[in-house]
Structure 1
Amino acid sequence: MHKLYGDHQSGNCYKVELSGSLLNIPLAWVDVNILNNETAAPGFRAKNPNGKIPLLELDDGRCLWESNAIINFLAAGSSFLPTDAFTLAKVQQLQFFEQYSHEPYIAVARFIAKYLGLPDDRKADYDAKQQGGHKALKVMETQLAQTPFLVGDQATTADISLYAYTHVAHEGGFDLAEYPAIQAWLTRLEALPGYRAMGA
């Protein structure tokens, strides 16, 4: 069985948990406390020199890091990862969007509020994330007003990537009430066979 090193509150780790559940791939959970700096431990750094979670350790000892790389690996050969070159590129396009235009705003605002308790010395940083987060949500809303999932009629790893932090965006101060297409998309994903809630 593969081992997943992570934190149950982390959206990036949840992507992998959710993928395993949707794909019926069992993963052995290894809890890592990032606030206690456990990712800096030599044993962990030997597996991931970048010192971040999630980390997937395969049953043969090989390791993968970066959440979107991990979920694409798990989804290979399934309907969640297209084989058509253009459609696959669309999935990857959205995963790059998630990492560069979505997560730096929505996930970071959530981290400041949920993990750190919105301390006074981070309030300006938290406020600064709001505009960029709403810009990313508007991009998603535009697409999801046209198609049921982000790359068309079929759920892919692009949906998993963006679901993880979008469904808890309110924890970073983002009100999803103004995004009806996103709300409908969240409901569709939560109805998929094998869906697993964060922290479940």
Structure 2
Amino acid sequence: MEVDNTVRVQVMTNKSLVGVASIVAAQYEKFAGWLVAGLGASLALLVSNLDKTKDMIQPASAGYAIKIFVAILIAHTAQKILAIVVSSGATSLQSDAAAGMEPPLTMPELSAFLANLENAYPWPLSAMVRRSFNRMHKGKLTFFGKMIARLSLWSAGLAALQILLAIWLVLVLARGLP
């Protein structure tokens, strides 16, 4: 089957990819946020009462659990950054459509639009934006949607990693019980 790469089809593909990606990233980000908050509160309670709980759980297990929690925090921070990028991209695309900037733009208009966006950012961000937009300048209008979709999948993967680390953390604490 031959793929239709007209401007209109590429724009619709881009919008669909960004829309799905924003929903996926937002839902995983909410779940992971609650998971991290709950684990953090539980560990804070455990550590603050370690003198009272030392007969119920080995202090070494609590220390190991804290190290796992730090790994969860690192994964959560990276996931949060990706979720923000995905959300920003989706919001930008929606606000463009709401503002009447509904493509298809001609290629010269698209180039001018992307150049204006590139100029809005200071260096070194402008260099990163320019590199991303170069593909769109060449007519690959689905690049943005594909990039946002990939970032959303990375965000979901980091959420899954957090879930696995949380399960490991609970198992470590459970093994420390007498």
Question: Under a length normalisation based on structure 2, what TM-score does the superposition of the two structures give?
Answer: 0.27
The structure having more radius of gyration, on CA atoms, is 2
Instruction: Name the structure with the higher strand share.
Output: 1
Instruction: Name the structure with the higher helix share.
Output: 2
The answer to which structure, 1 or 2, has the higher relative contact order (CA under 8 A, 6+ apart) is 2
